[in-house]
Amino acid sequence: MVVASATTIRNERMRAVGVPVIDLSRKRSQVMELILKACEDYGFFKVINHGVPKDVVARMEEEGFHFFAKPASEKQKAGPPSPFGYGSKNIGFNGDMGEVEYLLLHSNPLSISQASNAISTDPTKFSCAVNEYIEAVRDLACEILDLIAEVLRIPDKSALSSLIRDVDSDSLLRLNHYPPPGSGIDCHDCNSSLPRHQNRVGFGEHTDPQILTLLRSNEVEGLQISLGGEVWVPVPPDPTSFCINVGDALQAMTNGRFVSVRHRAMANSFKSRLSMIFFGAPPLHAWISPLSEMVTPQKPRLYRPFTWAEYKKVTYSLRLGATRLDFFRTTTPSPSDDDDEEQDTASA
């Protein structure tokens, strides 16, 4: 088995493809159809005219940049992540590495308040900015999920969004910072053979395990989505939009009709990139299974029921690039298939 860090760059092809951009101010019926097609074809789209206030985004971004500009010794007081808090380069618990530093926070206001004391010299200001941002993007996530439920003709239009609005929701906020070499992260593990103009893998390829992901980044490019195989599509940066990812849980709930998009982030060699990511997740005790409307004689059930806690446990036990949903299919992979998967994900 070959173990490689996320800085490894394979022989890949880049393809310029116009990713879907959906204007949420258009007619509801048009928006629903556009979201449906994007979720089926890409598992990814951008939204504009989304209603998230600019000042809420600006305050969150300001707090993020302020934290990451601190000396390493100050930032480390907010870590190590267990799983919440500050982390640098290490991604997860299974040897994955990247050119990234991050803050991972639970969406629960009490958890945010407690974490703020180690993150900011003004904990109240920081926690207020985080809570306002989470509330705004959660509302946007729920609006999109309600549109999805409606276009899929699910009788309970809140069947998806109620999982995120639940008081026990396991939703997260993650701030990822990708600085240029020598600007704050200890880069002794960086691949020094790469020229400085060569983009480095900041966060290796993976799918998001949750229901829906909302990502907002600054004007620096870096996000790429996979079209399968070795084909990657760069997503042009646009600070006025939000990128929406279908997660594993939503793929399972739609019985595979929607695809959980594989994506990665490249670290620019000259500019700092900051991304703010909301992961909309159900409560730990919630059951995830294909919705009855998604199961037909022609499309039998692909996944067995599982709790979100069970899925998270499997997620943490695997490499970053693992295809986790395969372990929950009604027909599970054979041991030999698992070995092949481990070999593939080890080099992600």
Residues acting as catalytic residues: 273
Mutual angle of helices 109-119 and 123-151, in 10-degree steps: 140
> Where do runs of H (alpha helix) occur along 240-318?
248-253, 308-317
Structural contact between residues 174 and 112, judged by C-beta atoms closer than 8 angstroms: no
**Residue 262 CB contacts under 8 Å (≥ 6 apart), including other chains:** 205, 206, 207, 225, 226, 321
Strand arrangement of the beta sheet that strand 223-228 belongs to: 13-14, 231-234, 223-228, 263-267, 200-206
- Whether 3 and 320 have beta carbons less than 8 Å apart is answered as no
CA–CA distance, 221 with 237 (Å, rounded to integer): 5
User: Phi and psi dihedrals of 347, rounded to 5?
Assistant: -100, 5
DSSP string across 67-125: HHTS-HHHHGGG-S-SSSEEEEEEETTTTEEEEEEEEEEES-HHHHHHHHHHH-SSHHH
Task: Give the count of beta carbons closer than 10 Å to the beta carbon of residue 166.
Answer: 15
Residue of 202, 347, 178, 306 lying closest to 263 (CA atoms):
202
Instruction: Tell whether omega for the bond before 80 is within 30 degrees of 0, i.e. cis.
Output: yes
Task: Report the C-alpha gap between 86 and 103 in whole angstroms.
Answer: 5
Give the three-state DSSP class for 266. Answer: strand
Quickly tell me which residue has 């951009």 as its tokens: 21
- Which pair of structure tokens corresponds to residue 7? 């800085």
**Alpha-carbon span 293 to 155, nearest angstrom:** 9
